[in-house]
Structure 1
């Protein structure tokens, strides 16, 4: 008997994510399950397509859970650059809340810039302020996630056809 097609799952690094509701809305339009992963503080959803996972306290507990569960073709929403790199290594598609996709071609520079900025903050050369999240970021995210969801679904359908 044929296995049903597995649609991509959207995993959200949810603790400080400013686009949780937007993710649910876009994923819902595409019929994709959303898994919100956090250390706590997120209320369960009544939506059957949204699962809330609470992981133990710890610096990388949510990241580790997402990496353990994500498969090639799934989508990971995160601003955490090391998590983005780990998810890309598993073949997941990765999107920042600002709408910027992380790719295998861009992740090396993103990690290098993160490390440089951390060093500059530690030495006092720069302050540790990140730009605030804007309406423009939210709009860019909505468009980018919609595109990424369509790509992920298309890839899953093509993979299913080649399995015969």
Structure 2
């Protein structure tokens, strides 16, 4: 299992957890972004920069990943594509997206997007909490130690 990261929007604290896990488990961690991202020197960690544009990072992750790989993203449409390709998806908040729950997540995303398009202020995500970090680290450990 390789670990792919939708790195443009991934919080630094989550990347740091991923760096430690890659070293500890000797799993390949690949960050994809359309701007340079710091990575520590490691034989297990790589960063690929792609050109800017709508869904360029997402498309690159889906193109490169294999069945059974893990993708870290909060992007629901990307998560759906990864699941179609039989990959695993974990959000930076520790939510595991599955074929059982991704349809509902897509529907809610589309609903919220239509509210915003009609001028309704839906607010944004809250700041990543300590509990979110713990949940992410716990879920990540379960997935990489399988």
Segment drifting more, 100-109 vs 120-129: 120-129
Q: How does 1:1-164 map to 2 (within 5 A)?
A: 8-18=1-11, 19-151=14-146
Contact 1:45 1:51 in 2 (8 A): no
Q: Give the superposition deviation at 1:95.
A: 0.2
Whole-Å separation in 2 of the counterparts to 1:21 and 1:93? 20
For structure 2, the 5+ residue unaligned runs are none
Task: Give TM-score scaled by structure 1 length.
Answer: 0.84
Q: Over aligned residues, Cα RMSD in angstroms?
A: 1.1
**Secondary structure, aligned partner of 1:72:** coil
Q: Give the superposition deviation at 1:44.
A: 4.5
Q: Give the superposition deviation at 1:15.
A: 0.6
Equivalent in the alignment of 1:154: none
Task: Give TM-score scaled by structure 2 length.
Answer: 0.94
**Secondary structure, aligned partner of 2:145:** helix
**Secondary structure, aligned partner of 1:47:** coil
Contact 1:77 1:97 in 2 (8 A): yes
Q: Give the superposition deviation at 1:25.
A: 1.1
CA distance 1:83–1:144, shift in 2 (3 Å): same
For structure 1, the 5+ residue unaligned runs are 1-7, 152-164
Whole-Å separation in 1 of the counterparts to 2:138 and 2:48? 26
Equivalent pairs counted in the alignment come to 144
Moved over 2 A (4+): 124-128
